[in-house]
Amino acid sequence: MTNIPETGRTPRVQIRLVVIQILVLSLLGTLGGRLWYLQIREGAEYAKEASGNHVQQVVEPAVRGSILDARGVPLADNETRLVVSASRTDLLKQKDDGKAVLTKLAGVLGMDPKEVMLKVRLCDAETPQPCWNGSPYQPIPITDEATPKQALQIRERSEDFPGITAEPEAVRRYASPGKSNTAQVLGYLSPVTDEEIQQAKDTDSPYLRSDQVGRSGLERQYDKQLRGKAGVTRYEVDNLGRVIGQAEADPAQPGANLVTSIDARVQRVAEYELNQAMKKAREQFDKITGTNYKADSGAVVVMEARTGRIVAMASAPTYDPNVWVGGISAKDYAKLTGKDSDYPLLNRAIQGQAAPGSTFKVVSTAAAVEAGYDFDGRYPCTSSYSVGGQVFNNFEGESFGPIPLGRALEVSCDTVFYGLAHNEWKKDGGINPKKGQPKDFFFKAAHQFGLGRETGVDLPNEVTGRVPDRQWKEDYWKANKDAWCRTGKKDGDYVEKIAYENCLEGNKMRAGDEINYSIGQGDTLVTPIQEAVIYGALANGGTMHAPTVGKAVISADGKHITEIKPKVTGRLPISQATLKGMDEALAGVVTRGTAAWKFQGWPQDQIELHAKTGTAEVYGKQTTSWLATYSKDYTVIMTIAQAGTGSGASGEAVRNIYSAMYGVQPDGSIDTRKALLPTPQKGLPKVRPDGTVASPKISKDPAKDLLEMQKAAEDGATASPDGTQPGATTPTPTAGNRDTRRRPRRRGSRRTPR
Amino acid sequence: MTGVNSFSVSGYGPERAGWTRLFARDSLTRRLDWPILLASLALSLMGSLLVYSATRNRTELNQGDPYFFLLRHLMNLGIGVALMIGTLCLGHRALRNIVPVLYGLSVLLALVVLTPLGATINGQRNWLVIGGFSIQPAEFLKVTIILGMAMMLAARVDAGDKLYPDHRTVAQSLGLAAVPCLILLLMPDLGSMLAMVAIVLGVLLASGASNRWVFGLLVAGAVGCLAIWQLHILDEYQLNRFAAFANPDLDPAGVGYNTNQARIAIGSGGLMGAGLFHGSQTTGQFVPEQQTDFVFTVAGEELGFVGAGLIIFLLGVVLWRACRIARDSTELYGTIVAAGIVAWFAFQSFENIGMTLGIMPVTGLPLPFVSYGGSSMFAVWMAVGLLQSIRVQRPMSA
């Protein structure tokens, strides 16, 4: 059958056909190779990508846990509000980027259109608040105070408001029970940023786009516990987001409740009294500066002495924590953080630091005993003490003759401590210490008392204060000597002279430095919380605690209770005998010492109070007042900047706080029924399985109750032994402004580093 | 089958009765190229499953009937097979006589597309909608251009006048091809246009035309591409769309998205695939145009390397046999037609699968036999018919 000749193909065509065949095969081979590469070699990678592709998460935010006071009264909880939000992605789709819609919305809400626009812009490095620092894909809340009518208006005309939603949402509420404010302790929330989401991505508590994060205070410290776990439902979806696959659901776990040791009533009283004390101080005339006291800031800490639990903590000036809820406005933000603000966001109880003044003398006393001086020995309390031609005066030139250390504490005799410190300075080798370590008892004691480091309170951003020891002087000199040497003049004005001296020997411990230091003046800085730890330890026999605000974390259904145990951080370097002596001396401060004029009529035999007053000098400003006190159960520390003396500025306020807690009437009797907290709160409040909390009723304003009680007593025709005027019966008459130190020509006032 | 049988009667040897004739040594059934036929059928049937998988959930396309595309695909296949049989019965030699008519008709159809009668789908004006059926004339152009060029180029050679087509004939045949190419450019249907170029190259090679023509054409193409690129004839976004297969970021919402999703679908298939109807990318409709241009991704995801590899293998079988047919044809006409079909199938398969694998730019070309689409299905089965015709009409050499 092959007799028909093959005419169709010449060799050229034949070769070309083979070439085509080879080409075709190699093309198919290429496809096979590429297929192998994608499916076998890289298959796992693509499989992962595919699963990320088709799974959508629907997030149901967890309800944030409440912050409760020691008895269960909510300090921070949640309420349902009508939140109007704008979707940025929807707005940007509109021709004018949603400007018209936002303007219309502002009209409905009765807001300024400009403010609404500012609220929906995104935060970046250069954009000031208000701006949105959450995810750009998340609805941005415009207001959470929409009325039902406004919400209806928006919803019914949804075609007029593309991208705008009005939904009820659980938002944080700072309840202010009994008018207590607690702002800085509670802190505030703001939306999570992209960076935080990235950072927390692989941790065990990743953030969700919709999360609010605690930014300060307890909200930040206990953020993880309070936040709970958002419910995530995973749907398999198609490319249009339609659900096609089975849902896999993780139900939301509401955040746990934080029980604090704060007592809302005491908190209110403390806040009120701090505010009153500052107001009163502003009415007082300061002889040194020739104006009234400015009393521009202050703090008060009420702490359980035996556990370190904070019962109340207030900082002035303060603010309303509810301004943060639903996004803060430009005006409010400027008021809180602007240059002209008085920085109300600072919690001055843990972030304010000042020289401790005479409240520091408990440290110096302990140091002296440690160095070998007998507590009951006799030390000269002269009217002045001179070192190398420089004269250090006792307050108003008083002299008490040779007195024991306890008495020196009681009357706050400076010269006793000058002498001791100078002695030790000389023993350590003077300006050029001996080879080997100088003993530095006075500085060592300060460190042992926990100064110069954080107390470990469960609040963020605590500051350390400062102990101006040799190491610090060296570091500080290195950092500043260039400036000092440039501006210092041998016979210039005060500042120039100081700079000149510092340039020459600022790295050395001079006699004057140590002498100043021994009475808490100079470069020493402490925080109110550090003082609370020290005086709390004096009250409880020497144990220092890391102060705690949180007392327990209770799950939302009340089933799981994690107690936050008091944490012991150390012991005071004082023997029990010395402690007893100091305890007695500090009680003496109340009965016959520097604070006596404010505590007349106090039932000292039933509720023994101990106190130490302090007045610290600040270069260029009025003196800082300190009043550190303790009873058997509590320690109360109050400090007010630019307010004069400790007893003068805070005596009454601190006394009122004790009165409220113990129920002490103006006449000195004790009415236990009116006592707010005669003994520290023991048990924990009960959280019911449905999440509600059994909390007692709280008076509208405990501070007013106290005021009324006092007024009633006055009207009751009994004599008014209120400690505003020194009575004739003061056991040991001492000058009222015991601790005010006139400005001597001293070195070592606080320098302002350049 | 009576028609086919009647055709075989023309043959050799004594008359036999009934079915035995069907399997006689020289009968048509024995002379058919079964590998091509079976591979094509297998590809088409696989295609119907893949099309079904891709469309059963696409309610916006299938008008609520999950079997809509499956049935249409099978119907197209039926028509395609019928067209193949028709072509086979008619024979490529007989077709030779009516090539001018077919050519003119297909060019006319393509021209109508450019008039308001044409429909624009996916940005390309290459559809003709007639009574509920949409036709892509470009597919038929591929067949007629092969036939037309083959007729011109082979005429003198098959007549024994010449060993190779002369320059004049080559130039004329190129002119014949240039007209539909120009129409395709106007549509614009870049994919079909490139397929056409591949076909022309294959045809020229097989015709034995001078090397100068082949290289000249290649150089002209390269210069043209360079000119388009350098003279900014295309806008940057058009170039980006073209280059997005390599770097999806160039056109993230358009071609880049397609490429990316296609690659994810295929890559996630692994060795065995997710199982038919179980691919999440496919079920979730993440790959656009998945029943037509991106049908290979369904195979990649749901059938894995094994299934997708099988498709490539089957295409390989078709192409391999088609090459054999080209080489075995006793006349240049058959050789050229077969080679043109090889070039067409090879280019379109490589381009289509290559774009889903991210190694070729994305153009709207269907995968022969597998993709949903009537015109393409009809055209490729007609081509199969031509191949079979060339095969059965050559003298039995073995």
Residue range A416-425, pLDDT digits in tens = 999 999 999 9
Region A54-63 average pLDDT: 69
Residues A235 and A98 both lie in one domain = yes
Residues A248 and A363 both lie in one domain = no
Query: Would you call B357 and A36 a contact, using CB atoms and an 8 Å cutoff?
Result: no
Query: Would you call A36 and B206 a contact, using CB atoms and an 8 Å cutoff?
Result: no
User: Helix A511-518 and helix A414-427: axis angle, to 10°?
Assistant: 140
Phi-psi region of B369 (alpha: psi -120 to 50; beta: other; left: phi over 0): left
CATH number of the domain that residue A70 is part of: 3.90.1310.10
In a domain, A179, yes or no: yes
CATH number of the domain that residue A510 is part of: 3.40.710
Q: How many CA atoms lie within 13 A of A300 on its CB side?
A: 38
Owning domain of residue A495? 357-518
| pLDDT per position as a tens digit, A359-415 | 999 999 999 999 999 999 999 999 999 888 888 888 777 889 999 999 999 999 999
Region B373-381 average pLDDT: 94
Q: Could you tell me which chain B residue has the CA closest to the CA of A34? A: B357
Contacts of A611 (CB under 8 A, 6+ apart): A586, A589, A590, A593, A595, A599, A627, A628, A629, A630, A647, A654
Query: Would you call A39 and B271 a contact, using CB atoms and an 8 Å cutoff?
Result: yes
Residues A389 and A494 both lie in one domain = yes
Region A257-282 average pLDDT: 95
Query: Residue A24: pLDDT band by 50, 70, 90 thresholds?
Result: very high
d(CA A739, CA A742): 9
| pLDDT per position as a tens digit, B221-279 | 899 888 877 877 667 767 777 788 878 777 777 788 888 889 889 999 999 998 998 88
Q: Got the DSSP string for A447-503?
A: HHTTTTS----SSSS----B---HHHHHHHHHHHHHHHHHH--TTS-HHHHHHHHHH
Query: Would you call B266 and A45 a contact, using CB atoms and an 8 Å cutoff?
Result: no
The Cα of B163 is separated from the nearest Cα of chain A by a number of Å equal to 7
ipTM above 0.85, yes or no: yes
In a domain, A315, yes or no: no
Tell me how far CA of residue A263 lies from CA of A74, A206, A629, A682, A688, in angstroms.
Answer: 10, 33, 19, 12, 20
Phi, psi of A167 (to 5 degrees): -135, 150
> For residue B261, which residues of chain A lie inside 8 Å, CB to CB?
53, 239
Phi, psi of A469 (to 5 degrees): -85, -175
In a domain, A347, yes or no: no
In a domain, B358, yes or no: yes
> For residue A54, which residues of chain B lie inside 8 Å, CB to CB?
280-281, 284, 286
Residues A129 and A247 both lie in one domain = yes
Region A209-213 average pLDDT: 75
In a domain, A228, yes or no: yes
What pLDDT is stored for residue B124 in this prediction? Answer: 65
Q: Is the pLDDT of residue A133 over 90?
A: no
In a domain, A200, yes or no: yes
Residues 92-131, chain B: which have Cβ within 8 Å of A? none
In a domain, A242, yes or no: yes
Query: Would you call A34 and B357 a contact, using CB atoms and an 8 Å cutoff?
Result: yes
Q: How many residues does chain A have?
A: 754
User: Helix-strand-coil percent breakdown of chain A, rounded to 5?
Assistant: 35, 20, 45
The Cα of B94 is separated from the nearest Cα of chain A by a number of Å equal to 18
Query: Would you call A20 and B267 a contact, using CB atoms and an 8 Å cutoff?
Result: no
Q: How many residues does chain B have?
A: 398
- When divided into structural domains, chain B yields a total of 1
In a domain, B15, yes or no: no
Token readout for B146 is 């092969």
> Which of A245, A260, A275 is at the close of a domain?
A260
CB atoms within 10 A of CB A518: 28
Whether the CB of B62 is below 8 Å from some CB of chain A: the reply is no
Q: Is the pLDDT of residue B120 over 80?
A: no
The Cα of B167 is separated from the nearest Cα of chain A by a number of Å equal to 16
In a domain, B163, yes or no: yes
- Among residues of chain A, what percentage have pLDDT more than 70? 88
Of A235-249, A437-451, B206-220, the one with minimum mean pLDDT is: A235-249
Whether the CB of B354 is below 8 Å from some CB of chain A: the reply is yes
In a domain, A249, yes or no: yes
Q: Is the pLDDT of residue B4 over 50?
A: no
Q: Is the pLDDT of residue A718 over 50?
A: no
In a domain, B258, yes or no: yes
In a domain, B198, yes or no: yes
Contact at 8 Å (CB) between B124 and B134? no
Query: Would you call B269 and A49 a contact, using CB atoms and an 8 Å cutoff?
Result: no
Query: Would you call B271 and A32 a contact, using CB atoms and an 8 Å cutoff?
Result: no
| pLDDT per position as a tens digit, B38-77 | 999 999 999 999 999 999 888 778 778 889 999 999 999 9
Token readout for B55 is 């469309």
> Which of A518, A550, A584 is at the close of a domain?
A518
- Among residues of chain B, what percentage have pLDDT more than 90? 48
In a domain, B4, yes or no: no
d(CA A629, CA A392): 28
Q: Is the pLDDT of residue A148 over 90?
A: no
> For residue A235, which residues of chain B lie inside 8 Å, CB to CB?
none
Nearest to A521 by CA among A533, A531, A530, A512: A512
Q: Is the pLDDT of residue A240 over 70?
A: no
Q: Is the pLDDT of residue A272 over 70?
A: yes
In a domain, A652, yes or no: no
Contacts of B314 (CB under 8 A, 6+ apart): B39, B42, B43, B46
The Cα of A47 is separated from the nearest Cα of chain B by a number of Å equal to 4
Q: Is the pLDDT of residue A547 over 90?
A: yes
| pLDDT per position as a tens digit, B295-345 | 999 999 999 999 999 999 999 999 999 999 999 888 899 999 999 999 999
Query: Would you call A30 and B320 a contact, using CB atoms and an 8 Å cutoff?
Result: no
Q: How many CB pairs under 8 A join A and B?
A: 180
- Among residues of chain B, what percentage have pLDDT more than 70? 90
Q: Which among A14, A49, A239 is the nearest to B327, CB-wise?
A: A14
In a domain, B177, yes or no: yes
Of A571-580, A698-707, B277-286, the one with minimum mean pLDDT is: B277-286
Whether the CB of B320 is below 8 Å from some CB of chain A: the reply is yes
Tell me how far CA of residue A477 lies from CA of A109, A468, A525, in angstroms.
Answer: 58, 12, 17
Q: Which among A5, A36, A236 is the nearest to B305, CB-wise?
A: A36
Q: Is the pLDDT of residue A261 over 60?
A: yes
In a domain, B1, yes or no: no
Q: Is the pLDDT of residue B395 over 60?
A: no
Whether the CB of B275 is below 8 Å from some CB of chain A: the reply is no
> Which of A207, A238, A260 is at the close of a domain?
A260
> For residue A41, which residues of chain B lie inside 8 Å, CB to CB?
none
CB atoms within 10 A of CB A126: 5
* Position A341, amino acid: S
| pLDDT per position as a tens digit, A438-454 | 888 999 999 999 999 99
Query: Would you call B266 and A245 a contact, using CB atoms and an 8 Å cutoff?
Result: no
Region A566-573 average pLDDT: 93
Nearest to A227 by CA among A66, A359, A402: A66
Nearest to A302 by CA among A645, A570, A631: A631
Q: Which among B281, B329, B350 is the nearest to A54, CB-wise?
A: B281
Owning domain of residue B148? 32-393
- When divided into structural domains, chain A yields a total of 2
Mean pLDDT of chain B: 86
What pLDDT is stored for residue B311 in this prediction? Answer: 97
Query: Residue B113: pLDDT band by 50, 70, 90 thresholds?
Result: confident
Query: Would you call A17 and B335 a contact, using CB atoms and an 8 Å cutoff?
Result: yes
For residue B395, whether the previous peptide bond is cis, meaning omega lies within 30 degrees of 0, is no
What pLDDT is stored for residue A313 in this prediction? Answer: 96
> For residue B269, which residues of chain A lie inside 8 Å, CB to CB?
39, 43
Q: Could you tell me which chain A residue has the CA closest to the CA of B282? A: A238
Query: Would you call B286 and A40 a contact, using CB atoms and an 8 Å cutoff?
Result: no
Nearest to A375 by CA among A581, A572, A573: A581
